[in-house]
Structure 1
Amino acid sequence: MAKVIHVHLLQQIDGVKRRDWYFSSLSAVFTVFTPEQVGVTKNYLLHAGLSGGGVIINKRAVIRQSTLIGRSRGVSG
């Protein structure tokens, strides 16, 4: 299973219409957004304990890490 980082924007960012964004890593979040836009730094997120189902909520965004559930090939069901 792969992890997925969900960023839900609480404030409008100029030129960005989407509120929900999904990333494959914490580092990937900062290829799209600046720390100012999401309200936290990459270093903060790396040490925040998101892997245990934690959630970061601030005035700019809600950031959580979840598991992407998929089906293995060759498994019927």
Structure 2
Amino acid sequence: MKIIHVHLTGKRKDYYFSTIAAIYDTLTASEVGMTLNTLRHAGLAGGGTVITKKAIIKQAELLTRSTRLKK
């Protein structure tokens, strides 16, 4: 599962989202430092990082514990 971490540098706040679009349900383009469409094309895929004047945005894989028991 992918997770997107948004760190607002001026406010020193961290947010975690499941999709790029979900970021803009909570934060404005002004708070993030770029619009939804620009962020979609900015290269987050594959664990990339995007840095704006207001935020650091990273996409990574969320590691979870396997629910299957090993014998």
**Which TM-score applies when normalising by structure 1?**
0.82
Q: Which runs of 5+ in 1 are unaligned?
A: 13-17
- Stretches of structure 2 that go unaligned for 5 or more consecutive residues are none
Give the count of matched residue pairs: 70
**Stretches of 4+ aligned residues off by more than 6 angstroms:** none
Distance in 2, matches of 1:36 and 1:51, equals 22
Pairing partner for 2:53 from 55, 59, 74 = 59
- 2:43 matches 1:40: no
Q: Percent identity?
A: 47
Q: TM-score, normalised by structure 2?
A: 0.89
CA offset digits 1:4-50 (Å, max 9, x no partner): 000000113xxxxx611100110100000110111011111111120
